[in-house]
Amino acid sequence: MPSQKSTAQVTTWFLGLLIALITGCSDNALNSPTAHKMRGLGNAYLDHVVGANGPPPDEAAFKKHMRGLRGSVQYDYQIDPNNIDASFISERDKEPLVVMYNQNIGKISGESKKVIAHEKTGKNGKRLVVFASTKVDIVNEAELEQLKAAKDK
């Protein structure tokens, strides 16, 4: 017959596991493959801004730029040179990312909140967004709309 001490330990362990599952430890969106991919996309976008003297006008121009990057840069930006299209798909919602083409990104700084791209649908009411600073954040619909409406942040 199990002792009260071992039963208490098992109960405590199960409660801890239950709390971890309820609080969402299993879905860390900011460390997801999509978040890493979006950081790379943000870096490639900035590379285009600097290298081509402006933002990419459309998807075709952006993909052409990404294909032309050195292999080491593609690696750093997590771009598969044999599958550029994969850089534009969220693994969280399985939909194409929404990229903000032909837009002035304003001053490039580590604090910029100018949206470069975001998930189309996201997951659980939240979407990943990458800014001109290449930082990735997770926002709800209202926050995303505010960020997109902001002028040259």
User: What is the tens place of the pLDDT at every residue in 112-129?
Assistant: 889 999 999 999 999 999
Q: Is residue 23 part of a domain?
A: no
User: Domains in the chain: how many in total?
Assistant: 1
User: What is the tens place of the pLDDT at every residue in 69-112?
Assistant: 999 999 999 999 999 999 999 999 999 999 999 988 877 777 88
Around Cβ 144, how many Cβ atoms within 10 Å? 19
Q: Is residue 8 part of a domain?
A: no
**DSSP 8-state secondary structure symbol assigned to residue 127:** E
- Cβ atoms 26, 18 nearer than 8 A: no
Compute the distance between CA of residue 97 and CA of residue 72 in angstroms, rounded to an integer.
24
Q: Is residue 35 part of a domain?
A: yes
**DSSP 8-state secondary structure symbol assigned to residue 105:** -
Compute the distance between CA of residue 86 and CA of residue 8 in angstroms, rounded to an integer.
49
Q: Supply the range of the domain harboring residue 36.
A: 28-149
Q: Is residue 17 part of a domain?
A: no
Q: Is residue 67 part of a domain?
A: yes
The pTM for the full model equals 0.79
**What tokens does 13 get?**
């362990």
